[in-house]
Structures are given as structure tokens and as C-alpha cells.
Amino acid sequence: MALRFFNTYSRKLENFAPRDPGSRNVSIYTCGPTVYSRAHIGNFRAYIFEDLLQRHLELRGYKVHRVMNITDVDDKTIRGACDAKVSLSKFTEPFKQAFFEDIKTLRIKRADEFPAATDQRYIDRMIEMIGVLIARGLGYQAEDKSVYFRINKFPNYGKLAHFDLTQLQSTGRVKHDEYDKEHIGDFALWKAWDEEDGDVGWESPWGRGRPGWHIECSAMATALLGDRIDIHCGGVDNIFPHHEAEIAQSEGVTGKQFVRMWLHCAHLLVDGQKMSKSLGNFYTIPDVLTKGYTGREIRYALMRVHYRVPLNFTWEGMKEARESLGRIDDWLQRLREIAGDELDKSKIDNHFGHEFGDALDDDLNISAALGFLFETIRETNRAMDRNKLDAATAAGWLNWWNRINEVLDFESGTRHFWFRPLEVTRSFDSSDALPEEVSKLAEERMQARLAKDFRKSDELRDQLNALGWEARDTKDGQKITRRVGV
Ligand code: AMP
Ligand code: ZN
């Protein structure tokens, strides 16, 4: 099947091809965090979807150049700095660092570039673009000294959001006299300085001020990726006005089609409502880690549902993520035991499990791809139960796993230690030693379970947990695993 994605602009599934025919280079721009607080896991749903997109394109042999901006100047960051009585950069810096920490925890590939809006290079570009828009009649300075985009002069305005401008005029929700704009939908390109901005501001031909959020992205995207970009992503809340405005500004300056394909992910919900800072119904990554979950478990929970389907966040869902990953871990362990030396010898066999990649080709249908993975696990486990899976086949599936794990990045990266009745403690990797204290607790726990003293066994599990080790009871005995990402 051809690789295809749902393009928000056309509202259709379209076959994907890079803008330069024959080229394997793909440019992607993704709207990054506004660093006025720590990002919540809703934001990370968007970043995980973008990570899946990049990794799948790479699996298909494309070379991806991805840019993710950091919005480090806007109303919220200025207000935050002012309340904290520190400079803007001092205020945003810890949130930038926290963001990089969190993407590492979730194994999200770093973008090639993370431009920050306050970088003078991009401020210069924003000013240059605004100058061109004014010269073309697409921008104007109003009485309040701010500069606005004249949406009536850009006939395609509203095409991305499939928005009827006459509706915008008729709602009357925003009082006209609060604004000095010609049209209620005109948006700020340059906001004139006022007292609330404190020492935040840059000189421009229109006086001291700061850029609007939308022009920040247009400037950084075109500066780093050129006038035409293959794919632009974000959450659905970015469609209007942010991405609509990005199109108007960028195309208003370059006269070229800004983006070939627009991909937007649905929201992460809590009790049916969007997870957001303003509703206060959010969790950060450290919040979820504190509950004992790991980065890869959060990664799984945020990735497992198709990106265009709203995903409800629940603790039950986190438990399911843990169980699903546990099944993958156990399966890999079994395959490795059977494959033995075959693993190194066997060649990569592309006939194994093409269904996984096919599902992702179809607009990143991860639910179908994971469905295939778990069906494979079920079938191969059944064969292993009956001693019907030979070493070469086990090695073939492991090679397949290594390939798809380039996309999923779900592997635990840690070894397990089994505690089985009548069996000596066994480690699969001597470099990953089991501390004596942990070994002693695990041994005691195995004895407690044999004696059916479940209260004691639960206590011992908690003690192991506190030391950073997870105890799981499987039909093959007790499995002790170092927790990752904590
Ligand atoms: P912000 O920091 O608010 O500009 O958002 C950064 C990214 O996270 C944008 O792509 C948003 O669309 C996305 N986003 C915000 N909230 C959610 C949510 N609850 N679910 C999914 N994506 C979200
Ligand atoms: Zn943006």
C-alpha cells in the first residue's frame, strides 16, 4: 500500500510524496512547547504522534529533517516572568530544560533544530517578513501602534480550518471598539510595547514591541526549512487560528505553497475534556513517574491509539500499558531463549510481519499495527508452548522486532531475573548484576508466595519497588526487573 496521510487542508487521505520528486528528503515542522510551565502529558501526546510519524518515515527510507520551535515569548511567558519578578529568559530556562528532560524520558527523538523565538536571528526575520506583508498591503499598523494581518486581502484565509469568514463577522462576540483593527479576525503580527511587557521588547520600524505568536512560527519554519515544507504538525487546537495564520503570513511573503500536508492529532482527554493547563485537569511527566510508572509505559499509553482519535487518560490505561509491555518483554525473552545462536546467524527476513508497516503506511494506523503485533505474540507463544517454534523462526521474529522497535522504541533495555521454585537465581546478563539486597528480598518473596503468605509477599513487593525493582508473578515464576525511566 502507498504511504498516505490525512491532510487537514483537503480533509482527505492523500498519498505522500516529498516535494522534490525522486528525493528521499522530508522536512517537518512541529509546533513546540510554550515554556511558561512544565508541559503536560496532553502536549506529549502531540509530540509522541510526531515521533511516530518521523520514525515511520525513516523506516520507509526517508531522511527526515525536523524542526520544533520553542515559544519563549508570548503573553503567558511575559506574565509569568513579571509575577516571578525575574527576566524573561531566567523565567523560561527551567521549563525549557524540563521539556528536554521529559522528551528523553519518553524516548522522543530530538528534532534536528529547536529554534527559540527570542533568538535575534529569528526576531530579525519576523521583522523582515512583517515589512514585506505591509508593503504588499497584507499588513497594516493600527492606531494602537500594533501591526495586524489584513485577512480580507488573503483570499485563502480560512481554507485550512474550513472556516467561513462571514461567520466570524456575524458572531459579534468580540466588541469592535476594544480593538483598533479593521476586521475582527485580523491578527497581530507585531504587538506594540505596553507597561505590562516590562523590559521585554525589541526595536522595529513600527516602534518597540514584540512578535505575535503566529509570525514566530512562520519565521522559524521558513528560515530553517525553506519556503516549502513537506509536513506541518500540531494538535487540532492549533488549526485555527495558529496554523491558518501561519499559512497566510508565509504564503503572503513567499507566494509559494507553504506546506504540502497538514497533520493534526486529536486531544488527550480527562473525563471527556481536553487536558489543559487552564482547566487544571492535567498531569506532568513527573506526576505520572511519581505514581510508579516509567517513561516507556507513558510512551506506550500515549501512542497506542490512532492519532486522529481522542484518547482518554486513565490510570487503568496506564496499568494496561504496563501489562502490554510486560507481554512484549516476556515474549522477547522466550524468543531469545529459543533463538540462541541462531540470532546472530540469521539474515534479516523482510517476509516477517509486513502487516505492521502496512498498517502504519495507512495514516499511521498504530492500533492496527499493535493489533498485529499482539496477534503475532499470541500465535508464536502458542507455538512455543507446544515446542513447535524452531530457532530460526524465533530469530526471524526477533529480527522483525528489532526493525519495528526502531519505530516503537518499547523495549525495556533491561534484563530480567527469574526466581523460580527449585531453581537457582539466574541472571541473563552478568553485566546487569542483581544487588544482594534485592536478591534476598526476591528470594524471601518467592518463599512467602509458596507459603501463600500474600500479605508478606505484597510487603516485599513494595520494598523491592522502593529500591527501584519490579516484581511480577508469571506462570514461569517470579520475574524481577529493574524499573526503567525512574
Ligand atoms: P502549547 O504549549 O499549548 O502551545 O501546545 C503544544 C502542543 O501540544 C500543540 O501542538 C498543541 O496542539 C498540543 N496540545 C495541547 N494540549 C493537548 C492535548 N490535551 N492533547 C493533545 N495535544 C495537545
Ligand atoms: Zn506554531
Q: What is the atom index within ligand 1 of the atom nearest the CA of 311?
A: 20
Q: DSSP of 152-192, one letter per residue?
A: GG-TTTTTTTT--HHHHHHS--S-GGG---SSTT--EEEEE
Q: DSSP of 409-447, one letter per residue?
A: -----S-EEEE-TTS--EES-TTSPPPHHHHHHHHHHHH
Please provide the distance, in angstroms rounded to a whole number, between the alpha carbons at the two ends of the chain: 40
Contact between 335 and 391 under an 8 Å Cβ cutoff? The reply is: no
Ligand at shortest distance from the CA of 46 = 1
Residue 326: Cβ within 10 Å count: 17
Contact between 84 and 339 under an 8 Å Cβ cutoff? The reply is: no
pLDDT over 70, % of the chain? 90
The enclosing H or E element of 482 equals strand 477-482
The enclosing H or E element of 235 equals strand 229-235
75 contacts: CB under 8 Å, gap ≥ 6: none
70 CA from centroid of ligand 2 (Å): 9
For the stretch 170-193, pLDDT in tens is 444 444 445 578 898 999 999 999
Whether the pLDDT of residue 70 is over 60: the answer is: yes
Mean pLDDT of 197-218: 97
- Which residue's alpha carbon is nearest to atom 12 within ligand 1? 235
* Residue 418: predicted pLDDT: 67
The cell for 353 is 510481519
Choice from 70, 216, 237 to test ligand 1 binding pocket (greatest atom count within 8 A of CB): 237
Q: What is the reported pTM?
A: 0.86
Contact between 194 and 188 under an 8 Å Cβ cutoff? The reply is: no
Whether the pLDDT of residue 486 is over 80: the answer is: no
Whether the pLDDT of residue 166 is over 90: the answer is: no
Whether the pLDDT of residue 52 is over 60: the answer is: yes
Mean pLDDT of 105-120: 98
Residue 443: Cβ within 10 Å count: 14
249 CA from centroid of ligand 2 (Å): 12
Whether the pLDDT of residue 422 is over 60: the answer is: no
330 CA from centroid of ligand 1 (Å): 34
The enclosing H or E element of 296 equals helix 295-303
d(CA 454, CA 111): 48
* Residue 367: predicted pLDDT: 97
- Which residue's alpha carbon is nearest to atom 15 within ligand 1? 43
Whether the pLDDT of residue 430 is over 50: the answer is: no
For the stretch 443-454, pLDDT in tens is 899 889 888 999
31 CA from centroid of ligand 2 (Å): 4
Q: DSSP of 361-393, one letter per residue?
A: HBT--HHHHHHHHHHHHHHHHHHHHTT---HHH
Ligand at shortest distance from the CA of 68 = 2
The phi, psi pair for 244, rounded to 5°, reads -60, -45
**187 strand-pairing partners:** none
pLDDT band of 340, cuts 50, 70, 90: confident
229 CA from centroid of ligand 2 (Å): 14
243 CA from centroid of ligand 2 (Å): 7
Ligand at shortest distance from the CA of 310 = 1
Mean pLDDT of 274-295: 94
To the nearest 10°, the Cα dihedral for 318, 324, 289, 52?
-100
Neighbour-count burial for 402-414, b at 16+ CB within 10 Å, e otherwise = ebbeebbbbbbee
Q: What residues are in contact with ligand 1 under a 6 Å CB criterion?
A: 31, 33-34, 42-43, 45-46, 234-235, 237-238, 265, 267-268, 274-276
Ligand at shortest distance from the CA of 99 = 1
Amino acid at 86: V
Tell me the pLDDT of the chain averaged across its residues.
91
d(CA 147, CA 205): 11
d(CA 410, CA 299): 8
43 CA from centroid of ligand 1 (Å): 4
d(CA 186, CA 150): 6
